[in-house]
Each structure stands twice: as structure tokens, then as C-alpha cells.
Amino acid sequence: MPKKESSDLLEKVDKKEKNKKMLSKNGIVVDLPKEELLRIYYLMNLSRQIDNKAMTLLKQGKTFFHIACSGHEAVQAALGIMMDPAKDWSFPYYRDLTFILCLGYTAGDFFLQCLAKDDDPSGGGRQLPCHWGTNRNFKLPSQSSPTGTQFLQAVGTALASVKKGINSVSYVSSGEGTTSQGEFHEAVNWASREKLPVLFHIENNKYAISVPVWKQSGGEGHSISEMMKGYHNLLRMKIDGTDFIESYITARDAFNYLRSGKGPVLIESDVVRLQSHSSSDDQKKYRDHSEIEEDLKKCPIDKFRRQVLENELATEKELNDVLAKVQSDIDKAVEFATQAPDPLPGEASRYVYDESGFKESFEYEQEETTGSNIVMVDAINHCLHEELERNPDIYVFGEDIADNKGGVFTATKGLSTKFGDERVFNSPLAEASIMGVAIGMSLAGLKPVVEIQFGDYIWPAFMQMKDELATIRYRSKNAWASPVVTRVAVGGYIHGGLYHSQNIESIFAHVPGIYIAFPSNAADAKGLLRTAIRINDPVLFCEHKGLYRQSYAISTEPGKDYLLPFGRGKVVREGTDITVVTYGASVWDAVFAAKRLEDEGVSVEVVDLRTIIPLDEELIYSSVQKTNKVIVLHEDTLTGGFGAEVAARIADNCFRFLDAPVKRIAAQDAHIPYSPILENAILPSREVVYKGIKELAQY
């Protein structure tokens, strides 16, 4: 669809209406009552004076950071008043103060966050100022610092709304610099392809901190809307965002388009940045004085005031009364926030995970495994079938997961045939898109269970997982959560070379807020996956592809209600001389070595952790106290592998019980090659495991 020029959006005054007082400019009218115009003037000035007060507090040493909205107020007000707070979703970036004030965020709310108070609705002092969020009365999920991650989440909430049959809009904004991020383009692609009601608002103030737009955008004239002209269903608008009249007419047309189901809208609003990027920046270092002075002449609040006065819609006194009320309200808000309680130090580590007691209420391991024998990949497939049937809010998607393919390992075979493409569907070939959209869907109350085809390719999604998925509950002080389940095939021994053989658990174990499961057999895979799907925390579910159809990983299949608890390992082989702590495919390497050593008079106890996070420390320590010798075994590299963490905890807690050093067996610190000969030389082979255990037993 061609760009809709702003001049095409402007309504002409009807001859019969010429004598009626309305806000107008060059024959363009905004038919808003006087009371609403005064409210808009109040909100724009409230935003501006909050900026000024925040900088004053910072200079007084009472706060530490601020990002100003000054120069962006008009277009934000025009869009903000169009939102339906009860239905529409908001993902505003840090400069969207006027917009969130239109939604219902108050000056008191702002200063609670600015002063890092416990009652701060955005996160109880956990988030930097200007990182908006609240679940009180309107849908504003906790926002974060990484630029561009919010776009895909907005797409996720829009997708959830469409699937629920709710006619809502998902608003998401950023500066023009953020459009250089790949996730912006992924989000526009997904929204345009599926005609999702996402409003992409790009506030172009010409500077991404110090980098000018002509060094950012490849669009014609360095325009963001021109850069995105190839998307057929995307309505593009480029406007003067300092002019409320033009912004309002554009906003009205945009929301009509969005609510009609025709597709997404991108508004590029030319605005001005009247203050430095943030309180940590000084724009005088990289901007000419004359350029800054020219921007000051384009102040949107001054422009709006002139328009109201010229159209005789309010008097000077009425507008000045608004300014007096703004100052009074800010003074009251600051006093209120200053007297509010500070966060308690003892609360600092709360809400990394769900603390409601929900997962503790489950009945675990209650159902006997009396079914037929089953391989691990089929156990996973059956669990997905059963949970999709049980819970209509579960959605499964990823690359190649729909029928007739059913996933590269057939773990999702038959799901789309049975439950339809609405609930089980192929995603674009973009891991960040999979994760970002899943996060948005989960924020809207759905339960995404996504597949990342190989652990080697999860890294484009890593920022969404580490900076968003893992932190949402914590940074919002338990107001928001994102319990996405991420299934991923990992591990070597399939001759997959460097890029189909990685183990990833140690890297994710370093990220608070994500549980990690790593089953070694079919029954455990089914029980742990079911628990992962039902709890209210995000889970990384590692599936060793070498175990998918392996005979020794076959188990009797558990039933539809079989759940395994996270954080509870299992002694899979009793022993008295030495303990091997391990997980995943390495469990079987330990078991086979233990059988071999039994013939040599060495009794080996094998502990299967089953989950990495949480870790069953009690089981580990009790086994070590019994055997007095321990090896930690895993397939990942030695340096920085999760075994180092286990070994350190054993050393801290069991030193007095040890008769030998804590040893580790792991892969060499190298990449995994394609040749079976070379692969076996890198990974911990069964011969290496056997010799390592034997050597420690003889210590």
C-alpha cells in the first residue's frame, strides 16, 4: 500500500461549520470539546514540568537518572487519547511520558519510580526511571532498557488478541535509531504478514544519542516510513509530530485502520529533542548551538497554545490556570513520593521466580507408569498432545513444527493436524521472533510452548530470553510474568558438526529467572515437560537429540497427569564407593561405566539431576556424604561448564566428608567437529568416563 500523505488525512471545514469554534489550522479541524483540549494542554505541560522537576531532583542528588520527553508531547498526546486502556496494549519506550500520562499513569506514579520507592508501580525501585510498567487499570507491561525488544512483544499481544477475538490495538514506540535493530524489522514483517493490529510509532528526533538519522536509516531521505514501503498491508504515515492538529487527525485515521482489521500502521512523527538524550548525556558536545535553537522554536506545547488561542477555544487566563494546576500537582506528587516508604533490603532478591506456592501445590509422581514402552521423542510428543487437549490457552509454534513435517525430529508430529493451524503453526525462520512473540502472548494470558530447532541457533533469541523473559517478573515486582516453555534439541554424538551439537545449559544457568530441565529418559521427559507447561515460570527444556530414539532411554510411558517436580533429582544407580553427579545423555555414560566397574569391585552411585535450575543440592550432598568421593560429569566443555558450579558447591558444603578432590569429566575446550573420529576425541567418550571414575576410585 502506498504511503498515505498527511495532506490526504486532513479534513476540510464544512461551509456550514465555518462559524463554529473548533481547533483548526489551514482549514484542518479537530472536533474536540474545550474540556478535552484543556485536559490535553494539562497533560502536555504536566509531562514537560515533570521533566524539569526530575532534572532538579537529580541535581540535588535525590535521584540518579532521567530521560526527557520534551519535544515529543503533541503526537504522544494525540495517540494516547485514542487508546482504550481496558483493551489496548502499550509498549512505550522510555521517552513516552506524555503518552502514559494519557493512559492514566500519574505524576505521583512517576516520582515514586524516579525516587526508587517501594510503591513504584513500575517495579518497586528495581527499574531505572522512565521504564514504564503497571498492571493497574491498563495494559502496560514492564518495559526494559534494550532498544527494540518491545516490538516483538507487541506483536505477541496483538496475535493473542486476534486469537481471543478481542478487537484491541497494541501500541509500540521507539526513536528512529532503534529501527536499525533487526527485531524491529522482524516485528513489522510478522505483523504485516498476518495483518495484526500493531501501531508502530517511530518518534524521529533525528538523533540516537549522538548518532544522526542520516547515519542510521537507509530509507529515501533517511525516512523510516520510506524504508518500510515494501510491506503491502502496512499503512505508513509521516507527519509533523510537533503539531497536535496534524497528529490527532493522523491518529484517528490510524486507529480506524487498525480496528478494522486491515493490518498494522507505522507512524513516523518528526519531533524535536529539546533536552539531551538523558541526564547522563550532554548534546552540546555533538550538536550545533544553532540547531538546538531552531528546535526550541518548534516546541509542540507553545504551538498547541497558539492554536488554541488563535481559534478562541480558551482564554489566556484559562490556560494559565492549567499551568498553575500543573505546578501544584507536581509539588504534591513530589511530596507524596518523598514520604513514601523505601524498598526493604530483605526484599531485593524476591520475585525472581513465582512465589505463589502454585507449583508446590501439584501432586507429583502420583500416577504409576503402567503404559507401554516408549522412546523419548514420542513421550514428548504425547505430552504435547495431552496438554494441548487439556488447556485451550496453549499454543505451539516454531520452525517446521507443523504437519506434514512435524519438526525435524518429529516431536510435534500430528499436532497441527489435530489442533489446527490456529494453535500449532510454523513461525518465520527467526529465533528472536519466536521468543519475542511468545513473550507477548504470555503477557496476554496465553501459554506458548515454542521450539528452537537446535541449541546452536538459540542465540538470536538470547537477548529476548536474558533481558526480557527472565527479568519480567522481577523487574515488575511480581506484577507481570512470562511463563514461556522453550523446547530445544541439544547435544552431540549425531555427527552434526559445529552447529548442530552444542550444549547450552551452562550459559542459561547463569541467567536468574529461567528454570532448566534436562531429562535422561522418556518417562522423565514427559513428567518434566508437563510440569514445565503447567507452572508459572519460564522454562528452558533441553532435549538431547541423541536420546530421542535411543533404546536405553526407553521407559514405560506415564499417564496424562504424571508430573515430576523441578529441583528433585534421582539416584538411578545405588553405590557406596564413589558418586557421579550428571544429567542428560551423560547419565547413561555413567551407568555403563558403573556396570563395568562393578565387575572390578568398585561400587558407583549415579545421581541424575534431571533439572539444572533448580538444583537438588540435598540429594548431591547426601550421596557425597555416603561415598566420600565424587565426579561431576557432563557433555559440555570443561571450562565454564555447569559441572564447575556443582563442584564448587560440593567443595563448600561437603569438604569434611571428602576423601579425594572433587573431579570433573567434560568435553575438551574446543568446538565439536563433523568427523566421528574427531567428535569422539572432543566429547567425553565412555572410555574416558570409565577411566576417570576408576582413577578417582583408586585415589
Tell me, what amino acid is at 497? G
69 φ, ψ (degrees, to nearest 5): -95, -10
**Residue ranges in the chain modelled with pLDDT below 50:** 1-19
Q: How far apart are CA 103 and CA 144, in angstroms?
A: 19
Give the helix/strand (H/E) hosting 382: helix 376-390
Count, residues in the chain: 699
Tens of pLDDT along 388-443? Answer: 999 999 999 999 999 999 999 999 999 999 999 999 999 999 999 999 999 999 99
Say if CB 694 and CB 600 are below 8 A apart: yes
Q: How far apart are CA 486 and CA 470, in angstroms?
A: 12
CA-based R_g, the chain, Å: 29
- Tell me what pLDDT residue 4 has: 41
Q: How crowded is residue 652: how many other Cβ atoms within 10 Å of its Cβ?
A: 8
Instruction: Return the C-alpha cell found at 644.
Output: 564447575
Cα distances (angstroms) measured from residue 546 to each of 377, 454, 494, 543, 637 = 10, 12, 6, 9, 17
Q: How far apart are CA 574 and CA 186, in angstroms?
A: 51
Cα distances (angstroms) measured from residue 592 to each of 178, 190, 611, 684, 689 = 53, 48, 21, 13, 9
Give the active site residues.
500
Strand 539-544 relative to strand 265-270: parallel, antiparallel, unpaired? unpaired
The sign of the torsion formed by the CA atoms of 410, 412, 414, 420 equals negative
Which residues contact residue 79 at a Cβ distance below 8 angstroms, ignoring those fewer than 6 apart? 99, 102, 171, 199, 201, 247, 251, 254, 267
Q: How far apart are CA 151 and CA 366, in angstroms?
A: 43
Q: How far apart are CA 238 and CA 523, in angstroms?
A: 57
